């Protein structure tokens, strides 16, 4: 988890600015914002309003981070307009909070699958991408948490057998199995 921020702010101002965003308030509850976690970082600019981006990034000219593939990536931050002051109480709306939670679903499923004995020989970034696709399919088909976990387990088992992965095709077979099982 490595970020490189190019900014005209002093190190003291940068530390104060980032520290103010370590914990955010949403709906009266406190939430560990985890902007420093480069697995979460890419989703943040799309969730924050431009004013919030400027509060977080300040006078940053660029913000780069190591992505899931181990390559440098640029964070698309809004540098237009003047830098905002250092916020005293960073806040997220319920909708912003929900979007960030949805972004972590693939990682949560990975942990749940590992707990159930799933192993993966490929790159962690590939597993995340695959589970991310699976989560999108599960959302579109309105699967509940249990069905989503079973679906992802089926998908990962198919991958473990060395088969070529077509997420849509595997999901259709999964749906057929469910239909037969519950008839």
Sheet hosting strand 72-74, strand order edge to edge: 3-7, 60-66, 72-74
CA atoms lying within 13 Å on the CB side of residue 176: 6
What is the number of other CB atoms lying within 10 angstroms of the CB of residue 22?
A: 12
Whole-number Cα distances in Å, 101 to 31, 74, 97, 108, 158: 11, 22, 6, 10, 27
pLDDT at 102: 85
How far is residue 98's CA from residue 153's CA, in Å, rounded to a whole number? 24
What is the band of 94 on the pLDDT scale with cuts at 50, 70, 90? very high
How far is residue 82's CA from residue 159's CA, in Å, rounded to a whole number? 49
Nearest alpha-carbon partner for 46 in 5, 25, 75: 75
Helical residues (DSSP H) of the chain, grouped into ranges? 11-19, 44-47, 50-57, 94-103, 105-115, 124-140, 145-160, 167-181
Share of the chain above pLDDT 90, in %: 28
Is pLDDT larger for residue 72 or for residue 78? 72
What is the band of 5 on the pLDDT scale with cuts at 50, 70, 90? very high
Mean pLDDT of all residues in 170-177: 74
Give Cα 70 to chain centroid, integer Å: 16
pLDDT at 21: 93
Backbone angles phi and psi of 34, in degrees to 5: 55, 35
pLDDT digits (tens, 9 = 90+) for 145-159: 888 888 888 888 877
pLDDT digits (tens, 9 = 90+) for 13-62: 999 999 999 999 998 899 888 888 888 899 999 999 988 998 999 889 89
Alpha-carbon dihedral 53, 30, 2, 121, rounded to 10 degrees: -120
**Three-state SS for 64?**
strand
> pTM for this one?
0.73
Nearest alpha-carbon partner for 109 in 123, 91, 85, 129: 129
């Amino acid at each position: 988890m490595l970020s490189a921020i190019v900014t005209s702010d002093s190190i003291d101002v940068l530390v104060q600015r980032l520290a103010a965003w370590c914990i955010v308030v949403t709906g009266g509850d406190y939430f560990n914002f985890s902007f420093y976690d480069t697995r979460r970082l890419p989703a943040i600019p799309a969730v924050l309003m431009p004013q919030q981006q400027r509060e977080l990034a300040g006078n940053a000219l660029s913000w780069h981070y190591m992505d899931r593939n181990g390559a440098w990536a640029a964070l698309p931050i809004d540098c237009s307009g003047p830098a905002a002051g250092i916020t005293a109480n960073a806040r997220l709306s319920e909708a912003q909070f929900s979007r960030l939670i949805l972004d972590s679903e693939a990682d949560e499923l990975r942990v749940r699958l590992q707990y159930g004995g799933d192993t993966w020989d490929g790159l962690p970034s590939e597993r995340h991408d695959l589970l991310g696709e699976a989560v999108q399919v599960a959302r579109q088909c309105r699967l509940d948490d249990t069905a989503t976990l079973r679906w992802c387990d089926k998908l990962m088992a198919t991958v473990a057998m060395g088969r070529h992965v077509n997420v849509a095709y595997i999901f259709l077979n999964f749906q057929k199995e469910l239909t037969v099982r519950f008839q």
